[in-house]
Amino acid sequence: MVARSTADVEDAVRRAHEAGQRVKALGSGHSFNTIAVTDGVALNVRNLSGIESLVPEPDGTVLVGLGAGTRLHEVGPALWSLGLAMRNMGDIDAQTLSGALSTGTHGTGSAFTGLTDQIAGMTIVTADGTAVRCDPTTEPELFAAARLGLGALGVVTTIVLRCVPAFLLEAVEGPGRLDPVLENWEQDRTANDHYEFYWFPHTDQVHTKRNRRLSVEGDASPGWRAAAARFAGRIGKETLENGVFEVINRVVTRVPRMIPSVNRLSASVAGSTSHSVGRSYRMFVTPRRVRFREMEYAVPVERIPDLLRELSQWFGQTDYRTAFPVEVRCAAADDIWLSTAFGRPTGYVAVHEYYRREADDYFRAFEAMARAMGGRPHWGKVHHRTAEDLAPSYPHFEDFRRVRNRWDPDRVFDNSYLRRVLG
Ligand SMILES: Cc1cc2nc3c(=O)[nH]c(=O)nc-3n(C[C@H](O)[C@H](O)[C@H](O)COP(=O)(O)OP(=O)(O)OC[C@H]3O[C@@H](n4cnc5c(N)ncnc54)[C@H](O)[C@@H]3O)c2cc1C
């Protein structure tokens, strides 16, 4: 069913509740697990889109009300035209605002929290079909739970984002070696505004990416030299992210023993140095056209070198081969109840596999290592955790369940994934 207004959502939820059906809001379907699957009414909120309100704050930020179904790739240009930007973003922009926020989508940057921490308020249609406005002072408990709500508390119709003045990002990408990159992890993640790296399994090669925030008034032109370097870098990026990478994966799916040499080749092509400058919402994201599955774990940030070394050892002890790089990012601690970065500076490690290849052994082995280090799984990606073993990882897990019991006692927004992770 397609909703065109908050009133439509209220009506749909009320009818479903009365009929004893469940409801699930649809995002853009970019989660890697069954969090968005329903056996009840699938509610398309795509038309709840665009900017609805603007409120300047004394600290220079602006509170921007947006329809929950707005795609992130629509948010960036709309904010830019107002001289504004999202403070941080993940690495794609295909998601809906509400879908990305409901699963705790994050980017990278030791001084920056995930996307959910940018929410200043929201309107959510709860189980009885009533739209409730919540923020830190109005219905604060509902707000505390619903800003990273896994779709469990209602259908979000409006999200208020705290936006910052528009800024540019300067990106410097280049090759590295795993050991020195791990030794310098602490230094590199704190010295750069946004730092991440990709490690090519079965090799010691990595590709690092450093983003620096620049004001729009600053020098936005990288000059012809940088433009040339950017062009050279594009060839490498295209290899790493798309294009021939699809072909590579088709080939190695049939002949996995080729993977180590293919990875060395990918690393050397992708590893060329590049420099570029651009609008933040363009620079944060990269096109991803190769289909894959992904598991991502959040661990205390200082455990990243241990986790990567253990994973590297595991590859040395098994026959499993993957052509997909392992992605490593970081984030500041936050106070959001179900955030993977709750209460601790966080490092993220994501493992991927081509969708046609069986990855269960790989993902389960990685999950065991990350879990032993206090890892928390990304809510929108592959994982095998249950409410029982997730609860100790989240000091406010019981608070979340209490708020859920209050606002959705009949489990109108339930599905099999939520039964597994929330009980
Ligand atoms: C290629 C790729 C790259 C990715 N990169 C990153 C990354 O850089 N960082 C990161 O953290 N994650 C990343 N992800 C994961 C992705 O951000 C999350 O899975 C996100 O939830 C997907 O958003 P969506 O709009 O597709 O939501 P869906 O997957 O469609 O839905 C997710 C959940 O949100 C709920 N939901 C959606 N709309 C509403 C609403 N209006 N009200 C209530 N609940 C709602 C759904 O019911 C569901 O429970 C990536 C995924 C892919 C496929």
253-296 residue pLDDT tens: 767 767 777 777 776 666 678 999 999 999 999 888 899 999 99
Nearest CA to ligand 1 atom 3: 92
**Alpha-carbon dihedral 266, 94, 86, 274, rounded to 10 degrees:** 20
Residues 261, 371 share a domain: yes
> On the CB side of 372, how many CA atoms lie within 13 Å of its CA?
10
Nearest CA to ligand 1 atom 20: 100
Locate the ligand 1 atom nearest the alpha carbon of residue 104 and give its number. 11
Q: How many domains does the chain have?
A: 2
Structure confidence at residue 221 (pLDDT): 42
- On whether residue 278 sits in a domain, the answer given is yes
Number of helical H runs and strand E runs in the chain = 15, 16
* CA of 115 relative to ligand 1 center, distance in Å: 11
Residues 368, 316 share a domain: yes
Q: Which domain holds residue 81?
A: 6-166+388-410
Residues 328, 188 share a domain: yes
Residues 214, 120 share a domain: no
Residues 176, 114 share a domain: no
- On whether residue 383 sits in a domain, the answer given is no
Token pair, residue 182, equals 């791990």
Question: Who contacts 4 (Cβ-Cβ below 8 Å, separation ≥6)?
Answer: 47, 48
Locate the ligand 1 atom nearest the alpha carbon of residue 417 and give its number. 49
Pocket of ligand 1 (CB under 6 A): 24-31, 35-36, 45, 68, 90-92, 95-96, 98-100, 102-103, 105-106, 150-151, 155-156, 288, 378, 380
Residues 330, 395 share a domain: no
Model confidence at 39: pLDDT above 50: yes
Residue linked to tokens 């026959």: 319
- On whether residue 16 sits in a domain, the answer given is yes
Locate the ligand 1 atom nearest the alpha carbon of residue 102 and give its number. 34
- Beta strands (DSSP E) in 166-237 are 167-177, 194-199, 205-215
| Per-residue model confidence as pLDDT tens digits over 141-165 | 999 999 999 999 999 999 999 999 9
Region 314-330: mean pLDDT is 96
**Alpha-carbon dihedral 103, 104, 108, 112, rounded to 10 degrees:** 160
As a whole number of angstroms, the distance between CA 39 and CA 124 comes to 21
Lowest-confidence pick of 242-246, 291-295, 328-332: 242-246
Locate the ligand 1 atom nearest the alpha carbon of residue 156 and give its number. 42
* CA of 96 relative to ligand 1 center, distance in Å: 7
As a whole number of angstroms, the distance between CA 356 and CA 1 comes to 32
Residue linked to tokens 């604060």: 140
pTM of the model: 0.92
CB atoms under 10 Å from CB of 72, counted, come to: 23
Residues 161, 108 share a domain: yes
Phi, psi dihedrals of residue 349, rounded to the nearest 5°: -125, 125
